A and B are shown apart, each in its own frame.
Chain A
């Protein structure tokens, strides 16, 4: 069987670090599944996502062993932009992922790179802005938005690329209550459309949208048992 995401016995150590952050991670995600990953701060959740989307080893070097495959193809055999046609990732830090002069340009950037037709890009911009409830900010400079708003634009920009696989790194942490409910609904819908989703979460409430919850501990993924041990917030 070919999985959208397949991680086999992955080890990883950042350049200059003493300890391995990932210590034999195994993960298979099937099409249309939403998997949530929880774990203590600094345990390597973001690092795992970087491995899945190829940022490691394409941008961060360090020592990696094991195998990551996207739809059966080893990420080592793909360049990042090629991976980006299949995998969309929203990063944890809202400050470092926006770079365009207006919200509209920011959202258009991904689809433009993927050669989506101009009219279609216009439609997508409207649609994703509606999803994150930011239509009013279409012509604003992303730099002048609040942290939560930036995160919403980052989500919109990735959604506009309409990739089959989506990775969300604690994307709800800075967003207000209403926004959270809305985005959760959107994630459920995306799952319904057959998208494959991996999300990192700190909030128990947000875990309900996942089909499966895994816990990253001591560099390994295991079945999630107990919220207390991984520092989850109970809202």
Chain B
């Protein structure tokens, strides 16, 4: 769907606001469902994201147990001797947290269906200074490269037959420092080269700049923004009362 990045931003803000304020599991599930439907409409790569955040299950478990052990209430589900390990309330708290995070992550990826130049332009047309928007977009763009590089060096270390998990903690720090020094150095060099090419293409040559990318909101955009705000307020109202 061809929607202005600003419209997407509004949708994301609405969904995350709901995710943060609502404390009722049933309501949260509803919001999650809406998020999933919107993600489907925007054709985000949901499966890939879900695969990446499956670690959240551990978080769910951890929160559920911690809540069960330290706060009373609810029906006991598992206990070892006198110690209550899992209660319905604990499980609920864990679920709430995970659903909330899922809503935020899934909705945030809606923005990524616009390219970074469009997002920057959207923010600029919302009066954010171009330099700041551009810098942030460059940062976000090169984060995955940095992560790849770290992964590569971990693999390089493993290829030499070192199993990081089996090394005692103190030794492990040393291995990590071997690992991060080259990544750190190459990141600095990359950043330096990048700033060379950005500046040599006249970044900040004048007070202003023109823009080849120009965004224009369509009626659909206004309609979507309006209904998002309306639905969000309605849901909040429903939840509060």
A-side interface residues toward B, CB under 8 Å?
53, 55, 58-60, 80-85, 87-89, 91, 93, 96-102, 104-105, 108-118, 121-122, 125, 157-158, 161
Complex CA–CA separation, A91 to B200 (angstroms): 10
Chain A residues, Cβ within 8 Å of B197? 91, 96-99
Per-residue CB contact flags for chain B residues 119-156 toward chain A (1 = under 8 Å, else 0) read 00000000000000000001001000000000000000
Q: Check B212 against A113 for contact (C-beta < 8 Å).
A: no
Q: Check B202 against A161 for contact (C-beta < 8 Å).
A: yes
Q: A113-B205, A114-B202, A161-B202 are in contact. Are A59 and B194 (CB under 8 A)?
A: no
B195 contacts chain A at the CB level, 8 A cutoff: yes
B23 contacts chain A at the CB level, 8 A cutoff: no
B178 contacts chain A at the CB level, 8 A cutoff: no
B241 shortest CB reach to chain A, Å:
44
Of all A-B residue pairs in the complex, the 9 with the closest CB atoms, nearest first, are A113-B202, A81-B205, A108-B212, A96-B193, A101-B115, A97-B197, A110-B201, A84-B202, A80-B199
Chain B residues, Cβ within 8 Å of A113? 201-206, 209
Chain A residues, Cβ within 8 Å of B194? 96-97, 99
A211 shortest CB reach to chain B, Å:
24
Q: Check B193 against A81 for contact (C-beta < 8 Å).
A: no
Q: Check B199 against A81 for contact (C-beta < 8 Å).
A: yes
Q: Check B202 against A105 for contact (C-beta < 8 Å).
A: no
Per-residue CB contact flags for chain B residues 206-240 toward chain A (1 = under 8 Å, else 0) read 10111111100000000000000000000000000
Q: Check A84 against B200 for contact (C-beta < 8 Å).
A: yes
B152 shortest CB reach to chain A, Å:
15
Give the number of residue pairs across the A-B interface with Cβ within 8 Å.
103
Which residue of chain B is the closest to A121 with respect to CB atoms?
B212
**Contact residues, B159-197 vs A (CB, 8 A):** 190, 192-197
Chain A residues, Cβ within 8 Å of B116? 100-101
Chain A residues, Cβ within 8 Å of B203? 81, 84, 109, 113
Q: A80-B200, A96-B190, A101-B116 are in contact. Are A85 and B211 (CB under 8 A)?
A: no
Complex CA–CA separation, A110 to B194 (angstroms): 14
Q: Check A114 against B205 for contact (C-beta < 8 Å).
A: yes
B77 contacts chain A at the CB level, 8 A cutoff: no
B198 contacts chain A at the CB level, 8 A cutoff: yes
Other than the given A102-B117, A113-B203, A114-B206, 20 more pairs (CB < 8 A) read A53-B200, A59-B195, A59-B196, A59-B199, A80-B199, A81-B199, A85-B205, A91-B193, A96-B190, A96-B193, A96-B197, A99-B141, A99-B197, A101-B115, A105-B212, A109-B201, A111-B210, A112-B211, A113-B201, A114-B202
Chain A residues, Cβ within 8 Å of B204? 81, 113
Complex CA–CA separation, A204 to B87 (angstroms): 79
Q: A96-B194, A105-B212, A112-B210 are in contact. Are A157 and B200 (CB under 8 A)?
A: no
